[in-house]
Amino acid sequence: MKADMGRKYRAYPTEAQDQVLTGWGHTVRALWNVALAQRIYLYEQRGYTLRSAEQCKHLAIGRGEIDWLADLPSECGQMVLTHLDRAYTNFWNPDHPASFPAFKKRGYRMSIPFKGQRVEVRKLNRHWAEVKLPKLGWLRFRLSRALGGTIRNATVSRDGNDWHVSFGIHTGARLAAPNGLPACGVDFGVAASAYVSTETAPRLMPPSLSKNEKARLKHLEQRKARQITYTKKHNQGKYGGPVCARRSVRSPG
């Protein structure tokens, strides 16, 4: 079963996990660059095309001699080499717009791939869940939507200062057959969940807040209203409004 849909969530690693993931991210980047340089050198010097099956043997030898390479989970390194194979395949495919595989700079987006067989997810509550990764343990993430399928792979990435975890999901969903109707545009927002160009009224999402969440929202709205009222009165008094008392002016002498 191949992944046919992706899911991405905001991850919240601990300080120790952040350091480990940062180190793994640099290791993945260095492994990609070394593997790409090796392939380019062999092809230019000998006309030999190197693939991931042979490079995985070199990786196993390197893990026994280099500590920082051995710290990276073995399946992560194997998936990096597999992704490099896919990049070459896409480049040689005339119907694919991919360019030749490029070296990754230090400031490049960090990304650590994992196999789905080594990943375990457990739900904590409506909004939070954890994913268990090899050599890292349980990583907490915000469950903004349901997974909705079988996990085939996982990737932990860093965008700026934020970590994310992405899952490749097999849902078994099939593309719907064309219905023959004209195309339409859809806008998604906050006040209106969805607005379809061919309809006159917006589509509203059913209420999803619990009883306690509704009470909390009402309390915050009342607090906001009191703050706005106080600010208006304070500004009126400060800038000479009716609340401001006039100061008496004494005549000289």
Q: Is the alpha carbon torsion for 54, 20, 137, 123 positive or negative? A: negative
Mean pLDDT of 173-198: 86
The tens digit of pLDDT for each residue in 29-66 reads: 999 999 999 999 999 999 998 999 999 999 999 999 99
Q: Is the alpha carbon torsion for 41, 47, 51, 57 positive or negative? A: negative
**Which residue type sits at 184?**
C
DSSP letters for 104-160? PPTTSPEEEEEEGGG-EEEE-SSSEEEEEETTTEEEEEE--S---SEEEEEEEEEET
Is residue 96 within 8 A of residue 134, CB to CB? The reply is no
The tens digit of pLDDT for each residue in 74-94 reads: 999 999 999 999 999 999 999
Tokens of 149: 């399928």
What's this model's pTM, rounded to 2 decimal places?
Answer: 0.71
Reduced to 3 states (helix: H, G, I; strand: E, B; else coil), residue 166 is strand
Tokens of 88: 């070459």
DSSP letters for 84-113? HHHHHHHHH-TT-------PPPTTSPEEEE
Q: What is the CA radius of gyration of the chain?
A: 28
The tens digit of pLDDT for each residue in 103-161 reads: 998 877 899 999 988 899 999 998 999 999 999 999 999 999 999 889 999 999 998 88
How high is the mean pLDDT of the chain? 88
Q: What is the pLDDT, as a whole number, of residue 243?
A: 47
